[in-house]
Amino acid sequence: MQLILFGYAINTTPRDLPTAVLLQETSDVGRSILAALQNTRYFKVTHIAHNAVEFDRLLASGTVLFAVEIPANFERALRRGDRPALLIAADATDPVAAGSALGALGTIVTTALRNDHAIPDTTAPPFEVRAHARYNPAASTALNIVPGLVGTILTMTMLIFTALSVTREIERGTMESLLSMPITPVEIMLGKIVPYVIVGFVQAALIIGVGVLLFRVPILGNLALLALLSTLFITTNLSIGYTFSTIAQNQLQAMQMSMMFFLPNILLSGFMFPFAGMPNWAQWVGEALPLTHFIRIVRAIMLKGSTIEDLRYDALILGILMLIAMAIAVTRFRRTLD
Amino acid sequence: MSAAGTMASRGFWLRTRAMLIKEFIQLKRDRMSFGMIIMIP
């Protein structure tokens, strides 16, 4: 199942990357460029921005990965041979997704304008593509990987901690005494989860601290917001791990379930491969994974300085996933050893 | 809140606290796992 899932889902050459266009003039050339972007497999024009504020907001909120601006008087400057600039701003928090599309833009636009006879068939394009790699101007891989690693390591460790918690009690023979006590499944679950929330918090602080000191990863956003949403993510993973523990019969089964869940988290969350480059069905699977949302949150807070307004969707999904996992765990918890 | 409700709420927190203490003691005894918590990141 995993072979088929990942074989079809993973795509190292991202396509259909969400793009916004800001047309500062209404002209044939502008329409040619817009049509060229819409026809290409690299970009998918999802938004038409109406002003510079909207242009910036779409990029900052992560709604689009690219924003192309055709400036005012572009056509006139082009026909006069003034070599006007076509502006493209890319969300470079994921340099892999941004790189190939940025490289292709100049060729795409030049070919489209030549085909529409808007520019002469000369060797050098009569305009300049001015690319702004926002949030990671040097396209440093460390700025992309380190925030992602916070989520990946937390997923791995938190899942395993609680996935083994109930099955370990059964295998050690201590579950019998726990069940004989007047304690409810909710109380057992909270008692199992809360200590590891503290452990997870220490781990997150360690990874972020080392990332900042060693790899010079900035934290542009609010540290308290990062801590709060990290705690939500840690609790979500602990709840999912605990759910596995209530379903599994022994520690080996619990470990296998954790691995079955961990692998899609790594491959379909946007940590290793660009999320926007995956097919739609794989993106839907990815949306159901906590790591997808946490990677967006941690990259946005650290690299973009995003606020809770920008991140409310991802925070809400994390909260919903946590509640679903807790509800399943409490329902599945067996009051007997049979 | 009624007296029965207060008692039930107090019982909930007492039992959860007892579970927490038990888990912390287990974690403290398991030095290997504790070391891994620090070393894995």
Tens-digit pLDDT profile for residues A5-17? 778 777 777 778 8
Say what the pLDDT of residue A311 is. 92
CA-nearest residue to A207 within chain B is B41
Assess contact for A47 and A58: CB atoms under 8 A: yes
- B1-41 pLDDT, tens digit each: 677 778 777 888 899 999 899 888 888 888 877 777 777 77
Flag if B16 and A187 touch (Cβ within 8 Å). yes
* pLDDT at A179 exceeding the cut of 80: yes
**Facing residue for B41 by CB, picked from A183, A188, A206:** A206
Residue B6, chain A, CB below 8 Å: the answer is no
- Give the closest-approach CA distance of A170 to chain B in angstroms: 15
**Calpha distance B33→A160 (Å, rounded):** 11
Within 10 A of A5 (CB to CB), how many other CB atoms are there? 16
HEC secondary structure over A302-316: HHHCCCHHHHHHHHH
CA-nearest residue to A204 within chain B is B41
* pLDDT at A232 exceeding the cut of 90: yes
Say what the pLDDT of residue A152 is. 94
**Facing residue for B23 by CB, picked from A183, A192, A207:** A192
Assess contact for A164 and A202: CB atoms under 8 A: no
Helix or strand (DSSP H, E) at A20 = strand A17-23
CA dist A331 → A159, A232, A247, A327 (Å)? 19, 21, 10, 6
Say if strands A85-91 and A128-134 run parallel, antiparallel, or are unpaired: parallel
User: Going edge to edge, which strands form the sheet with A128-134?
Assistant: A43-49, A17-23, A66-70, A85-91, A128-134
The lowest-confidence range among A115-129, A148-162, A315-329 is: A115-129
> Mean pLDDT, to the nearest integer, of A316-338?
86
CB-based contacts of B37, cutoff 8 Å, min separation 6: A157, A199, A202, A203
Which residues of chain A make contact with B15, given a CB cutoff of 8 A?
181-184, 187
CB-based contacts of A237, cutoff 8 Å, min separation 6: A154, A155, A158, A159, A200, A290
pLDDT band for position A77 (50/70/90)? confident
Say what the pLDDT of residue A273 is. 85
pLDDT band for position A323 (50/70/90)? very high
* pLDDT at A324 exceeding the cut of 90: yes
- A277-321 pLDDT, tens digit each: 788 888 999 999 999 999 999 999 999 999 999 899 999 999 999
* pLDDT at A100 exceeding the cut of 80: no
**Calpha distance A221→A93 (Å, rounded):** 14
The lowest-confidence range among A113-122, A140-149, A187-196, A259-268 is: A113-122
- Which has the higher per-residue pLDDT, A338 or A92? A92
> Mean pLDDT, to the nearest integer, of A137-160?
89
- A15-66 pLDDT, tens digit each: 788 899 998 888 888 888 888 888 887 888 899 988 889 988 898 888 898 8
Q: Model pTM greater than 0.90?
A: no
Residue B7, chain A, CB below 8 Å: the answer is no
> Mean pLDDT, to the nearest integer, of A313-332?
94
Within 10 A of A43 (CB to CB), how many other CB atoms are there? 26
Percent of residues, chain A, with pLDDT higher than 70? 96
* Closest by Cα among A63, A17, A87, A93 to A304: A93
Residue A198, chain B, CB below 8 Å: the answer is no
Residues constituting chain B: 41
A64, two tokens: 């689009």
The lowest-confidence range among A9-13, A66-70, A210-214 is: A9-13
Assess contact for A292 and A269: CB atoms under 8 A: yes
Say what the pLDDT of residue B29 is. 85
Say what the pLDDT of residue A336 is. 59
**Facing residue for A203 by CB, picked from B15, B23, B41:** B41
Which residues of chain A make contact with B10, given a CB cutoff of 8 A?
none
Assess contact for A8 and A279: CB atoms under 8 A: yes
Say what the pLDDT of residue A302 is. 93
* pLDDT at A74 exceeding the cut of 70: yes
Amino acid at A54: E
Angle between helices A223-247 and A141-163 (to 10 degrees): 40
Say what the pLDDT of residue A233 is. 96
Assess contact for A146 and A299: CB atoms under 8 A: no
* pLDDT at A230 exceeding the cut of 90: yes
Say what the pLDDT of residue A239 is. 94
Within 10 A of A99 (CB to CB), how many other CB atoms are there? 16
DSSP string, B3-29: HHHHHHHHHHHHHHHHHHHHHHHHHHH
Upper half-sphere CA count for residue A315 (Cβ side, 13 Å): 18
Burial call A209-239: b when 16+ CB within 10 Å, e when fewer: eebeeeeebebebeeebbeebbebbbbbbbb
Mean pLDDT of chain A: 87
* pLDDT at A122 exceeding the cut of 70: no
Flag if B27 and A203 touch (Cβ within 8 Å). no
